[in-house]
Structure 1
Amino acid sequence: MPEGLIVKALSGYYYVRPDGQQMTEVVQCRARGIFKKRGESPLVGDRVLFSMTDNGEGTVEEIKPRSSSLIRPPIANVGLVLLTFSVLEPDFNLQLLDKFLVHIEHAGLEVVIVLTKWDLLEDAAKQDEVEASAALYRSIGYPVVITSSKQKSGYEALFELLSHEISVFAGQSGVGKSSLLNTMIPGAMLETNMISHRLGRGKHTTRHVELLELPRGGYIADTPGFSQLDFLELGVEQLSDCFREFKALSEQCKFRGCTHTHEPGCQVKEALEAGDIAASRYEHYALFLEEMKEKKRRY
C-alpha cells in the first residue's frame, strides 16, 4: 500500500503527495469511515497509507503515529513554529507574543521569532526599542530573525533554521506572513491583502492549511492568522513552566505549586526584584494567570 504526506485538506478531501513524487503530483483522497467512528480525523502533515479507487482518486486507510499535533491550526508532525510579528502596521505586540509563546511551549515545539516589515521602521528610537526586545528574547533562549520582504533581508538566517521536515507560521493577522512566503518561495503567488488602517489589523488572507515545499527541502505551512488565543486547554499550575526563565527558578521556590504572586520565599519574585527577569514578562505572566482563573470561574 503506498505511503504519502497530506499536503492540503479542503472540503472533506485530503490531498496526499505519494513518497518519491513531485509536489504537483498529489492524489485526492477521502478518509475511511472508521476514522469518524473513532473520533479521529486526518490532518495536514500526517503521514498516511492510502489505496487507489477505480475513479483515480484515493482513500486514506491508515494514519501513521504523530510526533505532534496542533488544534489551531489543525496540523500534525510540526517540528518548528515560526512565530511571526511585524515591527509596524500592526505595531509589535509583546503581550500577544508572550501569549503565543505560552501555547507553543505548552505544545512542546521549537520556535523561532520572526519580525517582519523592518523597512517600515524609520524612527531610530523605535528601532532601538525593537532591537532591545529582540535581545531580551534571545537572552531567554529564543532565536530572533528580523526580516524585510522589500529589502529581501533576513532570509538566509531563516533558511538556516528550517531544518525540520514541517515548519509552520503562526502569529497575528496582517503581519506579512504571506508576503514573507512569496519572497521565500518564488512563484508561490500567495494572496496578500492591504492592512485595514481603520481597524488596525490585517484581513485573514489564508483560508485553509496547506504545506508549501521549500526550495532547500522540507515544507512550511501557511496557516490562517488569528489574533486571540484562550487558555482553556492549559492548567493554571502549568503556566509558569511555559515561561522558560521561570521554570528552573520555580523548582527552588519555598512552596510547591508557588504561583509567584504572593508566596514568601519565591525565587521568581526575587529574580524579578534583582532585575534578572524582565518586568514585561512577569507582568504578562500575572495577567495571563488572572485571565486563566477568570475563565476557570466562568466555565
Structure 2
Amino acid sequence: MEGIVLSRYSSFYYVQSDNKIWECRLRGKHRLKKADVIAGDKVEFTRVNENQGVIENIKPRVTELYRPAVANVTQLLIVMSLKAPYPNWTLLDRLLVLGSYSNLKSLIAFNKTDIADDNSVSLANEYKKIGYTIVFTSVKEKKGIDELQCFLNNEITVLAGLSGVGKSSLINALEPELSLKIGAVSSKVEIGKHTTRYVQLLPLSGGGLVADTPGFSRLHLPMELKREELRFLFPEIERVQQNCKFSSCLHKQEPGCRVRENVESGLMPKWRYDNYLEFLEEIIAQERKF
C-alpha cells in the first residue's frame, strides 16, 4: 500500500492512504539505518491489521524543508495582515527568498482587508506588479476565501507568517470542518498541549494538504546561499540585471548598474532593493565567518 505521512509521534507514523489514517512503525532495516521519516514523505507500507501497518520503503523526496521539517511541499503560503499587525515587508521578502531558494511556488495572502489602509494595500499591490501571486482576504467579510481555496487544491502547502496575522482563521474559513480532522489526528497520536512541537499535515477537501507547523524557527538565510545567487531570487532584479555593465554585478556599488538606476528612477520598489542589500550583507558576513 502507498500513502503520505501526516505526522510523527515518537516511533509512530500516521499515514494517510486514500481517506484512511494508518498508525505505522518503521521496518527494522530502516530503524537500523536511522532513516529519518518526516511529514510529507511518500511511503510504501504493509498492512498489519485494520488500523496499523509497517513502513517498508520511503520514496525519494522532491523538496525538503528543514525548519519546519516537511517533505514534498509544493508551495509556500505567506500570510501577511494589512493591519493589526501592519505588514513586515522585510520578513515577507525574506520568506519569498527562502521559498524561491527551496524551489517552491510562493503565494501571498494579504489578510484583514476589512481594516486595511490605502498605503498598505498600495504596497501590497507592488508584489503583484513584480510577478508574485497575491490574494486579498478577509475572514470577516469572507473575501478572497474561494480564490485562496483554488490555489490550495491538490497542493502540499506550508504556511508562514507572524502570530496574529490570521493563519488559523483563514484555514478555518477555508475548511469549516477542519477542526474535526485536526482532532481526529491529534487523538490518534495522543498529543495534547505539545502538538505544536510536531509538523502535521492537514487534509483539505480539495485534495490538498496544508502543513500545520510550529513555524519557521530559523529565518536567517541558508548557509549554502552564495552572494552571486541572491540576485536571481528577486524577480525584478533578475529581469534587468543582464543590462548591467558587468555580468558579475551584485548591484551594490558597481558602475553601470541598471538595477540601481531603476531604483533611483522609481521603476523598482526601494524597500525591496534595501532588503536585497540587507540580505546580501548577511550572506557576505556568513561567508567570511566560515
Using structure 1 for the length normalisation, give the TM-score.
0.84
Supply the distance in 2 between the matched residues of 1:260 and 1:56 (Cα, whole angstroms): 58
Q: Is the 8 A contact 1:112 1:142 kept in 2?
A: yes
* Match of residue 90 from structure 1: 85
- SS of the residue corresponding to residue 156 of structure 1 reads helix
2:189 is matched with: none
In the other structure, the counterpart of 1:164 is 154
CA distance in 2 between counterparts of 1:116 and 1:297 reads: 39
Give the C-alpha shift of residue 162 in structure 1.
2.1
- What SS class does the counterpart of residue 219 from structure 2 fall into? coil
Unaligned runs of 5+ in 1: 122-126, 192-203
* Counterpart position of 1:194: none
In structure 2, the partner of 1:265 is 256
User: Greater shift after overlay, 46-55 or 72-81?
Assistant: 46-55
2:229 paired with 1:238: yes
Name the % identity.
41
Change (3 A) 1:105 1:214: same
Per mean C-alpha deviation after superposition, the further-off stretch among 205-214 and 7-16 is 205-214
Partner of 1:130: 120
Task: Indicate whether 1:4 and 2:7 are aligned.
Answer: no
Change (3 A) 1:208 1:116: farther
**What is the alpha-carbon root mean square deviation over aligned residues?**
2.4
Q: Which residue of 1 aligns with 2:278?
A: 287
User: Is the deviation greater in 179-188 or in 35-44?
Assistant: 35-44
Q: Which moved more, 1:150-159 or 1:277-286?
A: 150-159
Change (3 A) 1:69 1:261: same
Counterparts of 2:124 and 2:99 in 1: how far apart (Å)? 18
Question: Deviations for 1:163-185, whole angstroms, at most 9, x for unmatched residues?
Answer: 43312212223322112111111
Matched AA of 2:106:
V
Q: Quote the offset at 1:40 in angstroms.
A: 4.1
Who is 2:243 aligned against? 252
Of Structure 1 and Structure 2, which has the larger fraction of its residues in helix? Answer: 2
* 2:244 partner SS: coil
Structure 2: tracts of 5 or more residues without a match:
183-193
> 1:197 maps to what in 2?
none
In the aligned structure 2, how far is the partner of 1:251 from the partner of 1:189?
49
Alignment of 1:52 with 2:10, yes or no, is: no
| Cα distance in structure 2, aligned partners of 1:233 and 1:37 | 30
Alignment length (residue pairs): 277
**2:178–2:204 CA contact under 8 A, matched in 1:** no
The 2-side partners of 1:76 and 1:13 are apart by 17
